[in-house]
Chain A
């Protein structure tokens, strides 16, 4: 256990001291500032627009962190051989992999917590600006949405870890992870689209089947997107929370297990 935690700790430290993080934070802060201006362009649903922008910024910053720093944390080890100093300690390949995953997840958590709290500011300002009587907003739901942004990032981290475990090149890992992210965001919509079009046009059964398979294999990341709920104060049922959390946990465990298996026979010549 100490081994996993030690690896997680230096991974996190290396990530947080990366200059790129600073840039990401600046971008996020600029976007928050822009939110306060953009909302003036709208008519009534001001708070909804502010929430859209705030949460999208947090999510975007988190994704940038994972794709530029998270992947790079693996990349350094695999491309630039910093892995020697880690793997030559008395730790197993699996402990290394899980430790790295954990370090990246903690990095994502830091970003989400920090930016998530700041993201409340433009929303508070928007409420002061104009809050029409039929508007609905609830801070609990807002922060649940923020937590779910973190859960989504944790799942993507697991995907990155999985790809890092068997690709030789951090660029390939980056591209593959991005592809999985895009597919993961779309499988639900595409599936819905196909079932709704079935009445209107001929949908090839092969296509339907493939879309279904994709839905099961790729992580359904859109399930963790609660921005609409936060924007309109729509309630989220406890059973939704339970099942989506379990789904996330299971998916992460599966991804890490496959990664660990692939990694056991990995050599570092």
Chain B
């Protein structure tokens, strides 16, 4: 069953008087239930753009996107979606307990369940002892972990992570990988972007390579055995487009 569908999505940005930049061009992709899909591409390829369209943060210039069969514009659909933005920012003066309470409430959870899950989640990400401290005092890695908790508190069917490994040390990255695998074992769908190839290789069922707004290739690891290494494959795809668009 298709849980996420991009249907010929194009996104243009105005960059000057008559100039525009195309962040995504005719982007089509289906993501199936229960799979872990890795989104790969150089910086500025359009990965974040595609993800933000799913979250209704930006609107496609053409085409449409659907989650669980409904248009991404419908707010209800986000009950089933957990999102971790790249470079997450949270309200400085609040602590993770308050933030998680907010997240839970808006996703329709009751206070009791929120309390339970907050304890479990904060323990999982290792922030239980800091739960009363304001985000102001957190390190980048800690902020990232708060973000993960916020994405998961409401037990969403679909988890979307935008560059989740940023700012994490190797231990942190390992934890994220284990988390993704755990989510997969629970039958959740995980859609994440990264440019750390070895992480992608470890957890993904399929990957998509995005260069200059165009989906160059989708690789299904079950069906396809790569001749070259993933790194070489990736660089090959980039070269095919004539190098990176500066």
Contact = CB atoms under 8 A, between A and B. Distances in A.
| In-complex A–B contact (CB below 8 Å) | yes
Interface in A56-88: 76, 80-82, 84-88
A88 B55 contact: yes
B102 A81 contact: no
Contacts of B120: none
Interface string A76-116: 10001110111111111001000000000000000000000
B92 interface: yes
Contacts of A6: 102, 105-106
Number of contact residues on B: which range applies?
35 or more
Contacts of A76: 89, 91-92
Contacts of B103: 85, 89
A81 B48 CA distance: 14
Nearest to B77: A90
B75 A91 contact: yes
Contacts of A95: 75
B91 A89 contact: no
Contacts of A9: 102
B166 interface: no
Nearest to B48: A269
A249 B85 CA distance: 37
Contacts, number: 88
Nearest to B23: A269
Contacts of B77: 90
Given A13-B98, A267-B57, A268-B52, A80 B105 contact: no
A95 B107 CA distance: 13
B85 A90 contact: no
B150 interface: yes
B6 interface: no
Contacts of B102: 6-7, 9-10
A99 B99 CA distance: 15
B178 to A, nearest CB: 24
B221 interface: no
A17 interface: yes
Given A89-B103, A90-B79, A268-B52, A84 B98 contact: no
A128 interface: no
A244 to B, nearest CB: 35
Contacts of B79: 90
Contacts of B105: 2, 6
B106 A81 contact: no
A18 interface: yes
Interface string B83-99: 10101111111100011
Contacts of A269: 13, 49, 52, 57-58
B108 interface: yes
B198 interface: no
Contacts of B58: 267-269
B59 interface: yes
Contact of B87 (A17, A81, A268): A81
Nearest to B54: A88
B55 A17 contact: no
Shortest 8 CB-CB distances between A and B: which pairs? A17-B93, A89-B106, A90-B78, A88-B83, A84-B85, A267-B58, A14-B91, A268-B57
Interface of A: 2-3, 6-7, 9-10, 13-14, 17-18, 76, 80-82, 84-92, 95, 265, 267-269
23 contacts: A6-B105, A10-B94, A10-B98, A10-B99, A10-B102, A13-B91, A13-B93, A13-B98, A14-B92, A14-B93, A82-B91, A85-B99, A85-B103, A87-B55, A87-B57, A88-B81, A89-B78, A89-B106, A90-B75, A90-B108, A91-B106, A267-B58, A269-B13
